[in-house]
Amino acid sequence: MCGIVAYLGNQDAYPRLIKGLHRLEYRGYDSAGIALLNGNIQVYKKKGKVSELEAHSAQQHTPATLGIGHTRWATHGEPNDINAHPHLSGNGRIALVHNGIIENYDLLKTALQKEGHTFESETDTEVLVKLIQAIQDRDGLPIEEAVRLALTRVVGAYAIVVIDQQDPNKLVAARKASPLVIGIGKDEFLLASDATPIVEHTNKVIYLNDEEIAVLHRSGDLEIKTISNEVQTPYIQQLDLKIEMLEKGGYDFFMLKEIMEQPMTLTNCMRGRINADEGWIHLGGVEEYASRITQAKRLIIVACGTSWHAGLIGEYLFEDLARIPVEVEYASEFRYRNPIIGEGDVVIAISQSGETADTLAALEIAKEKGALIFGIVNSVGSSIARVTDAGSYIHAGPEIGVASTKAFTGQVTLLTLMALDLAKRRGTISEGYYHRLLTELTLIPEKIKRVLEQDKKIQYIAAEIKDHTNALYLGRGYNFPVALEGALKLKEISYIHAEGYPAAEMKHGPIALIDDNMPVIVIATNKSAYDKIASNIQEVKARKGRVFAIVPEDDETISQIADYCIEIPETEEPLSPLLSVIPLQLLSYHIAVMRNCNVDQPRNLAKSVTVE
Ligand code: G6P
């Protein structure tokens, strides 16, 4: 989703802004632009990729040491050069980039039109820059004060950065519900939607809080106040991010790199948190609120997309092992349906980015109603991580591919640790089973390596599926959410329509679609329902469907019936999603590559969804 980058210092801003925009590409966007201040403001904007903006601006721009840049993911107005950011005030004095949605833009626009302002674009952002101009013109205010007063009239979400031609030594930035990070370098400031454009310049950062406005001066001074004009003390933090984490490291796509990293990322997720020999699990976030979480009447998991699928596995884990009732909710539905939440509830938000607007809003509602809110988050320092009462990071490192892979397995690992910890505390699990699960969990990274070794075979199977227009994914129990996740992976990056279904539920609808043109991918690793899944496969075969099955190593029965099989190592059933999802990730990756799709940046999708 929209990405912001800005520079103020003594170096040439242009290459820093362009590089920053490339770093932000992974968020998903459809146009890009920059504004440079050198005497006056020059704006360059282009529909399409950052490389197209570069081709358009590289030769023309003049050197500048102050500038702002933006990647736009269209909300108001189609993706085109005019709607791209930065937007200028009518007098050309102010330039602004924005991430978020100004909900009352129509009202503000009508009022500004009455005062004689005209509009070129269809965006809500142009309304904001013209509102700032109107306030500045009327009261002769410095830019930061005009911005602050304008924001008191705005309803909605924003992260903005503003420059003023008559104040060339200043960057003004503000946020509400959309992220913004300030990087403090040597004689320079870099500002961005996330730390990825900042890390190669400095590791000293400030995460701007909601309704704060920052003024960065060329002298190195930095002031932060609230929109209601209260001075704040800046809190400087160290970034724990390495530049190599943002590179492809020899892989063709970030998605493949991230799939291959999973043995390492899951090891990192478990490091210091589990000891199978001594039989303990330590999750700092849980320990802090141990009695409230252990005695929770109900767990409510809120999330979106792939994180929601991880949440569904969480439901199986918490109910099966810790015997706590669980509800798993799409954050976007939960927030608008007047949910019943009590003080005995614990609301768990799962989010890779930690910035998903709907998940954040759902948490605010839960907090207001007195529930304890817990975050399972990847992105360190993100909004969800900061707003929750307690939480645990999954430590997967930056995930750049839009299709989530290592974050998903990290989330499931964290949920497994948490469910086992709660099961032990609540006495709902036998000693023997607890120890078996702990031991098996620590073996998962090695077992994932064995699944990854089957890449060639999975590539072969991908070639069999790539030309189809539909696919069906079936799973039962713990592996039903894996079927949903497999189908999501396929549709989001290869644009093949796919549906995930509980295997037995297939009879109530999807079976009507099955013929020799319908690939059916079945996750058949559950010991408890093995025979039942075998029967479901027979039902598909009887209708000439082509079955691609994920089976346990040395499987005998299903391998005889299915057309193609991928064998994965045996494990305890509650842990099986951590293995069965891996071939599905690789399958969708290879199919997307074979179909020449942009694997890391699929059309219309965004990595970090900061608008609702
Ligand atoms: C977007 C991403 C998905 C992600 C979902 C939730 O749709 O493309 O990969 O699962 O948002 O994001 P979150 O950051 O909250 O996990």
Q: What pLDDT is attached to residue 488?
A: 98
Say whether pLDDT at 507 is over 80: yes
Strands (E), 48-133: 66-72, 87-88, 94-102
3-245 belongs to CATH 3.60.20.10: yes
Distance CA 56, CA 144 (A): 31
Q: Provide the CA 187 distance to its chain's centre, in angstroms.
A: 32
402 CA closest ligand 1 atom index? 8
**pLDDT tens track for 178-196:** 999 999 999 999 999 999 9
Q: What pLDDT is attached to residue 243?
A: 85
Q: What pLDDT is attached to residue 320?
A: 98
Distance CA 180, CA 99 (A): 9
Say whether pLDDT at 610 is over 90: no
Nearest CA to ligand 1 atom 3: 305
Topology alike, domains 273-443 and 454-599:
yes
605 CA closest ligand 1 atom index? 8
Mean pLDDT of 314-326: 98
**Taking a C-beta distance cutoff of 8 angstroms, is the pair 215, 182 a contact?**
no
What is the band of 330 on the pLDDT scale with cuts at 50, 70, 90? very high
Amino acid residing at 575: L
**Taking a C-beta distance cutoff of 8 angstroms, is the pair 294, 287 a contact?**
no
Choose the residue to mutate in 27, 352, 485, 588 for probing ligand 1, maximizing ligand atoms within 8 Å of C-beta: 352
User: Which residue, among 319, 584, 375, has the nearest Cα to 462 in the 3D structure?
Assistant: 584
More confident residue, 444 or 536: 444
Q: Residue 355 C-alpha to ligand 1 middle, in angstroms?
A: 9
User: Which residue, among 408, 442, 452, has the nearest Cα to 568 in the 3D structure?
Assistant: 452
- Ligand 1 cavity residues, CB under 6 Å: 304-307, 351-353, 356, 359, 402, 404, 605, 607, 609
Active-site residue numbers? 2, 607
Say whether pLDDT at 612 is over 80: no
What is the 3-state composition of the chain as percent helix, strand, coil, each rounded to the nearest 5?
A: 40, 25, 35
User: Which residue, among 488, 469, 164, 523, has the nearest Cα to 304 in the 3D structure?
Assistant: 488
Distance CA 567, CA 525 (A): 9
Amino acid residing at 332: S
606 CA closest ligand 1 atom index? 8
Strands (E), 402-496: 470-475
Q: Residue 228 C-alpha to ligand 1 middle, in angstroms?
A: 32
Strands (E), 446-488: 470-475
* Token pair 């209601």 in the structure block, residue: 228
Containing 308, the helix (H) or strand (E) segment is helix 305-317
Q: Would you identify the CATH topology of the domain 273-443?
A: Rossmann fold (3.40.50)
407 CA closest ligand 1 atom index? 16
Burial class (CB in 10 A: 0-12, 13-18, 19+), 205: buried
Query: Where do the structural domains in the chain lie, given as residue ranges?
Result: 3-245, 273-443, 454-599
306 CA closest ligand 1 atom index? 10
Q: What pLDDT is attached to residue 447?
A: 98
Distance CA 518, CA 396 (A): 35
Distance CA 505, CA 501 (A): 7
**Taking a C-beta distance cutoff of 8 angstroms, is the pair 221, 206 a contact?**
no
What is the largest distance, in Å, between two alpha-carbon atoms of the chain?
81
User: In this structure, how many other beta carbons lie within 10 angstroms of the beta carbon of residue 59?
Assistant: 7
| Residue 469, SS3 per DSSP | coil
CB within 8 A of 31, min separation 6: which ones?
A: 45, 46, 47, 48, 71, 72, 74, 79, 80, 81, 83, 84
**pLDDT tens track for 117-164:** 999 999 999 999 999 999 999 989 999 999 999 999 999 999 999 999
**Taking a C-beta distance cutoff of 8 angstroms, is the pair 415, 376 a contact?**
yes
Task: For residue 62, give the DSSP letter.
Answer: P
Residues in the chain: 612
Q: What pLDDT is attached to residue 245?
A: 86
Sheet holding 345-351, edge to edge: 326-330, 298-303, 345-351, 372-377, 390-393
Q: What pLDDT is attached to residue 215?
A: 98
User: In this structure, how many other beta carbons lie within 10 angstroms of the beta carbon of residue 95?
Assistant: 26
% pLDDT > 70, the chain: 100
Q: Residue 115 C-alpha to ligand 1 middle, in angstroms?
A: 41
Choose the residue to mutate in 304, 377, 412, 484 for probing ligand 1, maximizing ligand atoms within 8 Å of C-beta: 304
Choose the residue to mutate in 329, 356, 604, 611 for probing ligand 1, maximizing ligand atoms within 8 Å of C-beta: 356
Residue 393 to residues 273, 286, 329, 541, Cα–Cα distance (Å): 12, 12, 21, 43
Q: Residue 605 C-alpha to ligand 1 middle, in angstroms?
A: 9
Beta bridge partners of 191: 6, 182
Nearest CA to ligand 1 atom 1: 607
Cα 528-530-533 angle, rounded to 5 deg: 125
DSSP string covering 353-392, please? SS--HHHHHHHHHHHHTT-EEEEEESSTT-HHHHHSSEEE
Containing 303, the helix (H) or strand (E) segment is strand 298-303
State residue 460 phi and psi, 5-degree precision. Answer: -65, -45
Nearest CA to ligand 1 atom 4: 305
Say whether pLDDT at 291 is over 90: yes
Say whether pLDDT at 413 is over 80: yes
88-92, 378-382, 551-555 — most confident range? 88-92
| Residue 394, SS3 per DSSP | coil
Both structure tokens of 343: 């003080």
Q: Residue 526 C-alpha to ligand 1 middle, in angstroms?
A: 27
Q: Residue 26 C-alpha to ligand 1 middle, in angstroms?
A: 12
Amino acid residing at 325: P
Nearest CA to ligand 1 atom 7: 305
Mean pLDDT of 328-355: 94
Q: Residue 159 C-alpha to ligand 1 middle, in angstroms?
A: 19
Say whether pLDDT at 94 is over 90: yes
Query: Which CATH superfamily is 454-599 part of?
Result: Glucose-6-phosphate isomerase like protein; domain 1 (3.40.50.10490)
384 CA closest ligand 1 atom index? 15
**pLDDT tens track for 154-174:** 999 999 999 999 999 999 999
Beta bridge partners of 190: 7, 183
* Token pair 């590179």 in the structure block, residue: 247
What is the band of 504 on the pLDDT scale with cuts at 50, 70, 90? confident
Residue 605 to residues 42, 61, 377, 396, 608, Cα–Cα distance (Å): 30, 31, 20, 21, 9
Mean pLDDT of 422-426: 97
Nearest CA to ligand 1 atom 2: 607
Q: Residue 609 C-alpha to ligand 1 middle, in angstroms?
A: 7
Q: What pLDDT is attached to residue 350?
A: 98
Choose the residue to mutate in 259, 329, 353, 414 for probing ligand 1, maximizing ligand atoms within 8 Å of C-beta: 353
Nearest CA to ligand 1 atom 8: 607
User: In this structure, how many other beta carbons lie within 10 angstroms of the beta carbon of residue 298?
Assistant: 17
Average pLDDT, the chain: 95
Nearest CA to ligand 1 atom 5: 305
**Taking a C-beta distance cutoff of 8 angstroms, is the pair 597, 493 a contact?**
yes
